[in-house]
Amino acid sequence: MQQITDTWLLFMRHLKKTGREPMWLLIGLLQPILYLLLYMPLLKNMPDAMGNPQTMAQTVRLFTPGMLIIMGMGGLFAGFSFIDEIRTGIIARWLVTPAARLSIIVSLVANQLVTLLLQCILLLVVAYFFGLEVPWGGLLLTMLLVMMIGTCMSSASYAISLTVQDEGALASITNTFYLPVTLLSGILIPINSSAPQWLQTAAQFNPFYYVVEGSRALFAGNFGEDKVWQGFVVMTAFTGVMLWLALRALRKMAA
Protein backbone atom coordinates (compact mmCIF):
# COMPACT_ATOMS: atom_id res chain seq x y z
CA MET A 1 0.00 0.00 0.00
CA GLN A 2 2.78 2.39 0.97
CA GLN A 3 4.38 1.53 -2.40
CA ILE A 4 1.32 2.77 -4.25
CA THR A 5 1.24 5.95 -2.15
CA ASP A 6 4.96 6.52 -2.80
CA THR A 7 4.52 6.00 -6.53
CA TRP A 8 1.63 8.46 -6.56
CA LEU A 9 3.50 11.08 -4.49
CA LEU A 10 6.57 10.90 -6.71
CA PHE A 11 4.45 10.88 -9.86
CA MET A 12 2.67 14.07 -8.74
CA ARG A 13 6.05 15.65 -8.11
CA HIS A 14 7.28 14.79 -11.63
CA LEU A 15 4.02 16.02 -13.13
CA LYS A 16 4.42 19.32 -11.30
CA LYS A 17 7.97 19.59 -12.61
CA THR A 18 6.77 18.96 -16.19
CA GLY A 19 4.09 21.60 -15.69
CA ARG A 20 6.64 24.09 -14.44
CA GLU A 21 8.73 23.70 -17.58
CA PRO A 22 5.89 24.23 -20.10
CA MET A 23 8.39 25.07 -22.85
CA TRP A 24 9.63 21.47 -23.04
CA LEU A 25 6.10 20.15 -23.05
CA LEU A 26 5.16 22.48 -25.91
CA ILE A 27 8.20 21.46 -27.94
CA GLY A 28 7.27 17.82 -27.32
CA LEU A 29 3.74 18.49 -28.56
CA LEU A 30 4.99 20.26 -31.64
CA GLN A 31 6.75 17.11 -32.77
CA PRO A 32 3.70 15.06 -33.84
CA ILE A 33 2.25 18.04 -35.70
CA LEU A 34 5.49 18.56 -37.58
CA TYR A 35 5.61 14.89 -38.52
CA LEU A 36 2.15 14.95 -40.00
CA LEU A 37 2.48 18.32 -41.73
CA LEU A 38 5.89 17.69 -43.24
CA TYR A 39 5.82 13.95 -43.77
CA MET A 40 2.27 13.17 -44.86
CA PRO A 41 2.33 15.25 -48.07
CA LEU A 42 5.37 13.25 -49.21
CA LEU A 43 3.37 10.05 -49.07
CA LYS A 44 0.29 11.28 -50.85
CA ASN A 45 1.24 9.84 -54.21
CA MET A 46 2.84 6.68 -52.96
CA PRO A 47 1.23 3.60 -54.54
CA ASP A 48 -0.03 0.76 -52.37
CA ALA A 49 1.33 -2.79 -52.45
CA MET A 50 -0.67 -3.52 -55.62
CA GLY A 51 0.79 -0.49 -57.34
CA ASN A 52 -2.48 1.45 -57.28
CA PRO A 53 -2.40 5.11 -56.23
CA GLN A 54 -3.82 5.64 -52.72
CA THR A 55 -6.23 8.21 -51.41
CA MET A 56 -5.17 10.61 -48.65
CA ALA A 57 -7.41 8.76 -46.18
CA GLN A 58 -5.66 5.47 -46.96
CA THR A 59 -2.23 7.04 -46.56
CA VAL A 60 -3.17 8.59 -43.26
CA ARG A 61 -4.49 5.28 -41.99
CA LEU A 62 -1.29 3.53 -43.04
CA PHE A 63 1.08 6.01 -41.41
CA THR A 64 -0.69 7.28 -38.31
CA PRO A 65 0.11 4.09 -36.32
CA GLY A 66 3.78 4.55 -37.24
CA MET A 67 3.68 8.15 -36.08
CA LEU A 68 2.13 7.07 -32.78
CA ILE A 69 4.89 4.50 -32.37
CA ILE A 70 7.56 7.12 -33.10
CA MET A 71 6.04 9.20 -30.29
CA GLY A 72 6.31 6.15 -28.04
CA MET A 73 9.90 5.58 -29.02
CA GLY A 74 10.63 9.16 -28.00
CA GLY A 75 10.69 7.75 -24.46
CA LEU A 76 14.26 6.82 -25.29
CA PHE A 77 15.19 10.45 -24.70
CA ALA A 78 13.70 10.57 -21.19
CA GLY A 79 17.14 9.98 -19.73
CA PHE A 80 18.49 13.43 -20.57
CA SER A 81 16.61 15.35 -17.92
CA PHE A 82 16.98 12.35 -15.60
CA ILE A 83 20.79 12.52 -15.69
CA ASP A 84 20.46 16.13 -14.61
CA GLU A 85 18.34 14.99 -11.67
CA ILE A 86 20.88 12.34 -10.68
CA ARG A 87 23.48 15.08 -10.56
CA THR A 88 21.46 17.23 -8.16
CA GLY A 89 21.48 14.34 -5.67
CA ILE A 90 17.70 14.08 -5.54
CA ILE A 91 17.66 10.44 -6.69
CA ALA A 92 20.19 9.48 -3.99
CA ARG A 93 18.04 11.31 -1.44
CA TRP A 94 15.00 9.23 -2.41
CA LEU A 95 17.09 6.06 -2.35
CA VAL A 96 17.97 6.68 1.30
CA THR A 97 14.27 6.90 2.24
CA PRO A 98 12.27 3.67 2.70
CA ALA A 99 10.45 4.36 -0.60
CA ALA A 100 10.52 1.31 -2.88
CA ARG A 101 12.93 1.43 -5.82
CA LEU A 102 10.13 0.24 -8.04
CA SER A 103 8.02 3.25 -6.99
CA ILE A 104 10.78 5.59 -8.16
CA ILE A 105 11.01 3.96 -11.61
CA VAL A 106 7.25 3.56 -12.07
CA SER A 107 6.57 7.18 -11.09
CA LEU A 108 9.10 8.41 -13.66
CA VAL A 109 7.68 6.19 -16.39
CA ALA A 110 4.11 7.22 -15.55
CA ASN A 111 5.06 10.86 -15.95
CA GLN A 112 6.51 10.09 -19.39
CA LEU A 113 3.29 8.34 -20.34
CA VAL A 114 1.22 11.43 -19.52
CA THR A 115 3.25 13.51 -21.96
CA LEU A 116 3.08 10.68 -24.49
CA LEU A 117 -0.69 10.47 -24.18
CA LEU A 118 -1.02 14.21 -24.82
CA GLN A 119 1.22 13.91 -27.89
CA CYS A 120 -0.82 11.00 -29.25
CA ILE A 121 -4.15 12.74 -28.73
CA LEU A 122 -2.86 15.80 -30.54
CA LEU A 123 -1.53 13.67 -33.38
CA LEU A 124 -4.85 11.85 -33.73
CA VAL A 125 -6.76 15.12 -33.83
CA VAL A 126 -4.54 16.43 -36.64
CA ALA A 127 -4.76 13.07 -38.44
CA TYR A 128 -8.54 13.28 -38.18
CA PHE A 129 -8.47 16.49 -40.17
CA PHE A 130 -6.37 14.70 -42.78
CA GLY A 131 -9.23 12.23 -43.09
CA LEU A 132 -8.28 9.46 -40.68
CA GLU A 133 -10.92 6.77 -40.23
CA VAL A 134 -10.25 4.05 -37.69
CA PRO A 135 -12.35 1.58 -35.65
CA TRP A 136 -12.43 2.51 -31.92
CA GLY A 137 -11.29 -0.95 -30.85
CA GLY A 138 -8.29 -0.77 -33.16
CA LEU A 139 -7.42 2.69 -31.91
CA LEU A 140 -7.60 1.74 -28.23
CA LEU A 141 -5.56 -1.44 -28.70
CA THR A 142 -2.96 0.50 -30.67
CA MET A 143 -2.81 3.10 -27.90
CA LEU A 144 -2.18 0.30 -25.43
CA LEU A 145 0.73 -0.88 -27.59
CA VAL A 146 2.07 2.67 -27.81
CA MET A 147 1.93 3.06 -24.02
CA MET A 148 3.88 -0.18 -23.68
CA ILE A 149 6.46 1.16 -26.11
CA GLY A 150 6.68 4.35 -24.06
CA THR A 151 7.22 2.32 -20.90
CA CYS A 152 9.78 0.08 -22.56
CA MET A 153 11.74 2.91 -24.17
CA SER A 154 11.80 5.26 -21.18
CA SER A 155 12.82 2.37 -18.90
CA ALA A 156 15.65 1.55 -21.29
CA SER A 157 16.67 5.21 -21.25
CA TYR A 158 16.66 5.32 -17.43
CA ALA A 159 18.68 2.10 -17.28
CA ILE A 160 21.31 3.54 -19.64
CA SER A 161 21.33 6.91 -17.84
CA LEU A 162 21.82 5.31 -14.43
CA THR A 163 24.70 3.27 -15.76
CA VAL A 164 26.60 5.86 -17.81
CA GLN A 165 25.47 9.05 -15.99
CA ASP A 166 26.65 11.11 -18.92
CA GLU A 167 24.53 12.90 -21.53
CA GLY A 168 27.08 12.45 -24.31
CA ALA A 169 27.22 8.69 -23.85
CA LEU A 170 23.43 8.49 -23.63
CA ALA A 171 23.10 10.48 -26.87
CA SER A 172 25.43 8.22 -28.83
CA ILE A 173 23.87 5.03 -27.50
CA THR A 174 20.29 6.12 -28.19
CA ASN A 175 21.04 7.51 -31.65
CA THR A 176 22.92 4.39 -32.72
CA PHE A 177 19.96 2.33 -31.63
CA TYR A 178 17.17 4.61 -32.84
CA LEU A 179 17.91 4.82 -36.57
CA PRO A 180 18.19 1.12 -37.54
CA VAL A 181 15.28 0.18 -35.30
CA THR A 182 13.06 2.85 -36.86
CA LEU A 183 13.97 2.01 -40.45
CA LEU A 184 13.82 -1.75 -39.94
CA SER A 185 10.40 -1.57 -38.32
CA GLY A 186 8.80 -0.04 -41.39
CA ILE A 187 7.54 2.97 -39.48
CA LEU A 188 8.50 5.49 -42.14
CA ILE A 189 8.42 3.27 -45.23
CA PRO A 190 6.60 -0.06 -44.96
CA ILE A 191 8.76 -3.11 -45.51
CA ASN A 192 6.69 -4.94 -48.13
CA SER A 193 7.49 -7.51 -50.79
CA SER A 194 9.27 -4.89 -52.91
CA ALA A 195 12.02 -4.56 -50.25
CA PRO A 196 15.23 -6.61 -50.73
CA GLN A 197 15.06 -10.07 -49.18
CA TRP A 198 17.88 -9.48 -46.64
CA LEU A 199 16.11 -6.38 -45.36
CA GLN A 200 12.87 -8.32 -44.94
CA THR A 201 14.77 -10.98 -43.00
CA ALA A 202 16.51 -8.39 -40.84
CA ALA A 203 13.15 -6.81 -40.03
CA GLN A 204 11.91 -10.16 -38.70
CA PHE A 205 14.45 -9.79 -35.89
CA ASN A 206 13.32 -6.29 -34.96
CA PRO A 207 10.67 -6.46 -32.24
CA PHE A 208 9.22 -3.15 -33.39
CA TYR A 209 8.46 -4.58 -36.81
CA TYR A 210 5.72 -6.71 -35.27
CA VAL A 211 4.36 -3.79 -33.30
CA VAL A 212 4.20 -1.53 -36.36
CA GLU A 213 2.60 -4.20 -38.54
CA GLY A 214 0.27 -5.19 -35.73
CA SER A 215 -0.93 -1.64 -35.16
CA ARG A 216 -1.48 -1.14 -38.92
CA ALA A 217 -3.67 -4.25 -38.90
CA LEU A 218 -5.53 -2.87 -35.88
CA PHE A 219 -6.10 0.47 -37.60
CA ALA A 220 -7.45 -1.38 -40.63
CA GLY A 221 -9.80 -3.34 -38.36
CA ASN A 222 -8.08 -6.70 -39.04
CA PHE A 223 -8.01 -7.83 -35.41
CA GLY A 224 -7.35 -11.47 -36.28
CA GLU A 225 -4.01 -10.97 -38.04
CA ASP A 226 -1.04 -12.83 -36.57
CA LYS A 227 1.01 -9.63 -36.31
CA VAL A 228 -1.49 -8.28 -33.77
CA TRP A 229 -0.98 -10.92 -31.07
CA GLN A 230 2.70 -11.17 -31.98
CA GLY A 231 3.05 -7.44 -31.43
CA PHE A 232 1.48 -7.68 -27.97
CA VAL A 233 3.58 -10.69 -26.95
CA VAL A 234 6.84 -9.09 -28.11
CA MET A 235 6.03 -5.78 -26.47
CA THR A 236 4.98 -7.33 -23.14
CA ALA A 237 8.24 -9.26 -22.96
CA PHE A 238 10.35 -6.24 -23.91
CA THR A 239 8.59 -3.91 -21.51
CA GLY A 240 9.10 -6.37 -18.67
CA VAL A 241 12.80 -6.79 -19.42
CA MET A 242 13.45 -3.05 -19.72
CA LEU A 243 11.59 -2.24 -16.49
CA TRP A 244 13.63 -4.90 -14.73
CA LEU A 245 16.88 -3.49 -16.18
CA ALA A 246 15.96 0.02 -15.04
CA LEU A 247 15.18 -1.25 -11.56
CA ARG A 248 18.45 -3.16 -11.41
CA ALA A 249 20.40 -0.11 -12.59
CA LEU A 250 18.72 2.03 -9.91
CA ARG A 251 19.68 -0.49 -7.22
CA LYS A 252 23.27 -0.47 -8.43
CA MET A 253 23.44 3.27 -9.03
CA ALA A 254 26.77 4.79 -8.11
CA ALA A 255 25.40 7.61 -5.97
Partner 1 sequence: MSDIILRTTRLTKTYLSGRGKAQKTVEAVKGVDLEVRQGEIFGFLGPNGAGKSTTLKMLTTLLAPTAGDATIVGHDLRKHPQKVRACIGYVSQAGGTDTFSNAYENLILQARLYGVSQTVAAAQAQDLVTRFQMTEFATRTAKSYSGGQKRRLDLALGIVHRPTIVFLDEPTTGLDPQSRAYFWEEIMRLKEDGMTIFLTTHYLEEADNLCDRVAIIDHGEIVALDTTEALKRQAGGECITVGFNHESLAEQAKVLFGGVSFIQKIIHQDFKLHLYVQDGGAMLAEVLRILDKEGIAVQTIGLSRPSLDDVFLQQTGRSLRETGKE
Residue 179 in the binding site for partner 1 (CB under 8 A): no
Closest CA to 15 of 113, 122, 119, 159: 113
Toward partner 1, which CB reaches closer, 21 or 133? Answer: 21
| Cα 215–chain centre separation | 13
Toward partner 1, which CB reaches closer, 7 or 239? Answer: 7
Closest CA to 148 of 72, 200, 51, 89: 72
Residue 4 in the binding site for partner 1 (CB under 8 A): no
47, β-bridge pairs: 53
Q: What is the DSSP letter of 55?
A: P
Cα(155)–Cα(175) distance, rounded to whole angstroms? Answer: 16
Q: Report the first-to-last Cα separation within the chain, whole angstroms.
A: 27
Residue 96 in the binding site for partner 1 (CB under 8 A): yes
Q: Cβ of residue 95: shortest distance to partner 1, in angstroms?
A: 6
Residue 98 in the binding site for partner 1 (CB under 8 A): yes
Inter-CA distances, 116 with 154, 163, 206, Å: 11, 24, 22
Among 99, 106, 246, 249, binds partner 1 (CB under 8 A): 99
Among 9, 42, 179, 237, binds partner 1 (CB under 8 A): 9
Residue 90 in the binding site for partner 1 (CB under 8 A): yes
Residue 89 in the binding site for partner 1 (CB under 8 A): yes
Of 16-35, binders to partner 1 (CB under 8 A) are: 16-17, 20-21
What is the contact surface with partner 1 in residues (CB under 8 A)?
2, 5-6, 9-10, 13, 16-17, 20-21, 87-99, 253-255
